[in-house]
Chains A and B, each alone.
Chain A
Amino acid sequence: MLTVALQQGINGLVFGSLYVLVALGLTLIYGVLVQINFAHADVVTIGAFAAYFFTFAFGGNYLVSIAVALVIGGALGWLINAAIFAPLRERGSELLPLIATIGVSILLQNAMLIWFGPIPYPFDSPYSNEVIRLWGGTFITWQNLIIIVVSTLTIALLYAFMKFTFMGKALRAVAQDRETAALMGINPSQLIMLTFVIASALAGMGGAMLGPILVLTPFAGTTVIVKAFAIVIIGGFGNVEGTIIAGLLVGLIESYTTQLVNPGLIDIVVFSLLLLMLAFRPTGLIAEKREENV
């Protein structure tokens, strides 16, 4: 029983790490713009497809494909913000960019449906089925080990960037008070663009690592994004530390719900937690003032 408990802990941390990567992008955008980005799921899917085609159509290395997906995700974030969201924000409406994210999501999904077709892609990385046997009968695949290592490094780098670099501090300043930050010589538009690029790059990278785990279709990202939204709320809107903890927590909840109850009840458990958080601790797991987030 201890073996099973440990194994479920490993399983939960793997998926929790991926949830964190995806949810961090959402929380960054919310923290800076107070905007929910519904198209985030589709950037995850595009990242997964980018890694798939880089690996199988061009014969590239899977590990390199993660970097490729990161770059493509970032570029896509830049493009979407520059072409659609930024012009709409300039009109002064908060609602228009929100509606636009839904439009972009539908557009990207249907474009992928045309380009890639509806049939699931058999995306197995060279590491998907290679198993490392650990202590006491537990195991982890190389793919899952890569997910944990890459996610941990990425989250650590992002955290360091936000806390210790000038750009990171500037980004937090924009999140706290955009107008005051502008008076201090910070260009909020550039920082917002940077936020979109970082968030989308994380989504693309997350997609590349999710691809060999989830069912790769043009709608793949949507299965993850609902949980990511829940994680953002549980962690506290726009709160990076809270999002990391909430992501890992949701991953573990999923594993242990599967083991102890039934996987069919996962959503009930996760979203019950979400409702409880909203009812009793609406600021999220780590309570901070809104302006100190990000």
Chain B
Amino acid sequence: MTNHRAVLFLGVAVIAGLGAVDAASAQDKVIKIGGLFPMSGPGAYFGAQDKQGIELALEQINKAGVNGYKFEIHYEDSGCSPLPATQAAKRLIEQYKPHVIIGEECSDATLAAMPLMEQAKVPFLNAGSSSIKVTDPGNPWTFRIMPNEVMQGVDIATNAYKRLNARTAVLLYENTNAGIGNAKVFNDTFTAAGGKILADIGFGRDVNDFTAIATRIGGVGKVDVIPTYTLEGQGLRITQALAQAGVTKGGGGQAIQLGTIWLPFGFEQKAGKAALGYVRIVQFDPLDKREVVSNFVQSFKAKFNQDPTHINAHAFDQILVIADTVQRGATDAQSIRDRMAETKNFSGVTGSVEFDKHNQNTKMDTIHYMETQPDLSWKPLGWN
């Protein structure tokens, strides 16, 4: 039953709200959430989709409140980059004075903001940054509900070697903490298994033309897999350039692109037939039979008239995880942090949550492998 806590959560919240707290006091008691998300720049698509998931979660939870508490959020644009992230975090902490902060998506921004949260003793719940440094060493005030780069990287490299029989790879990644870290984990795991890295190609976020990179990859010999770590925009152009150069399956070649949780749903439709055969991890499976997932998909479609993405889903889960701590008695920043650290068997729409001593979610059921089909739909590979 404990695995279905999130499913039952709203029902419990309604009972708690009606029975234990009168309406007037409920209005007075508010959990203030700071939203630290990129609203501008190349990662702005994260912020736009995070806001949708948060909006839906708050709408549902605030109908009845939790233990007499309502939830409100104030956003600051952290720009997926260290400097704007620290400035935004300072504004949140000093002006809004939140009980808890959620965000960022980009590891560089998250890492830059983390010390400020620790100093202010405000818990910081992250769902989208994969760098290992976020939780190792991390700090006592930062939590992460997504698998980190090591969890993802080891898993995807092992699957590439064992299930795809890949023996050669080219690493493609943006020059950020997350990009470099993910590529390194893949490199280490893949080469330890016996694979060979033919080229290791990092690039800045200002690179526009990937034809030259695709040309280089086309000239390095037989490539089996191309693990790619970029934001959506550059990812689209890379996939298309690799197909145009005849390197990947989408362009008649034989290499398979591998992707992680970074890319949103709908990537394949934007990339077109170039995305054929792309194997990637998504953090949320809309076909998941659990009730919490079907309810989320249904209510999201009803509210926004579109299908939810994993970014919508993990933002939704962030709010549910906070509400869960309040359900278990949290009332302020310190108690939210303490209850969050004690989280066990939480079941959200992206999967389960249970934190280790570094505040890293240990559950791997948030990883789902998909392969892009000729009609650009996904085929679940069922590897986890």
Could you tell me which A residues sit within 8 Å of B by CB distance? 1, 3-4, 7-8, 11-12, 14-15, 109, 113, 117-120, 122, 124, 128-129, 131, 139, 141, 144, 210, 213-217, 219, 223-224, 226, 254-255, 258-259, 262-264, 266-267
Contact = CB atoms under 8 A, between A and B. Distances in A.
A185 B114 CA distance: 64
A49 to B, nearest CB: 15
B207 A266 contact: yes
A258 B213 contact: yes
B61 to A, nearest CB: 26
A12 B42 contact: no
B138 interface: no
30 contacts: A3-B219, A4-B216, A4-B218, A7-B215, A7-B218, A11-B215, A12-B212, A15-B208, A118-B40, A118-B48, A119-B48, A122-B236, A122-B269, A129-B240, A131-B244, A139-B246, A141-B244, A144-B211, A214-B237, A216-B233, A219-B40, A223-B205, A224-B208, A254-B209, A258-B212, A263-B202, A263-B212, A263-B213, A264-B175, A264-B202
B234 interface: yes
Nearest to A110: B40
B374 interface: no
Given A118-B40, A219-B40, A263-B207, A258 B216 contact: yes
A81 B232 CA distance: 35
Interface residues of B, number: 42
Interface string B25-68: 00000000000000111101101110000000000000000000
Contacts of A3: 219
B249 interface: no
B206 interface: yes
Nearest to A109: B40
Nearest to A260: B216
Contacts of A262: 201-203
Given A131-B244, A215-B237, A210 B208 contact: yes
B27 to A, nearest CB: 33
Given A122-B236, A129-B244, A213 B44 contact: no
Given A226-B206, A263-B201, A267-B204, A120 B212 contact: no
B243 interface: yes
A48 to B, nearest CB: 11
Given A129-B240, A213-B237, A117 B48 contact: yes
B274 interface: yes
B233 A255 contact: no
A264 B204 contact: yes
Contacts of B286: none
Given A122-B236, A219-B40, A263-B201, A129 B206 contact: no
Interface in B251-277: 269-274
B360 to A, nearest CB: 29
Interface of B: 39-42, 44-45, 47-49, 175, 201-209, 211-213, 215-216, 218-219, 232-234, 236-237, 240, 243-246, 269-274
A210 B209 CA distance: 10
A286 B3 CA distance: 72
Contact of B233 (A12, A128, A217, A263): A217
Given A129-B243, A131-B244, A215-B236, A4 B45 contact: no
A215 B205 CA distance: 10
Contact of B45 (A15, A120, A139, A210): A120
Contact of B215 (A4, A141, A224): A4
Contacts of B208: 15, 210, 213-215, 223-224
Contact of A139 (B203, B219, B232, B244): B244
Contact of B44 (A14, A139, A217): A217
Nearest to A4: B219
**Residue in A139, A214, A226, A263 whose Cβ sees the most chain B Cβ within 10 Å:** A263
A128 B240 contact: yes
A215 B209 contact: no
A176 B339 CA distance: 73
B271 to A, nearest CB: 8
B47 A267 contact: no
Given A11-B209, A15-B208, 9 more contacts: A4-B218, A15-B209, A109-B40, A119-B232, A223-B208, A255-B215, A258-B212, A263-B203, A266-B203
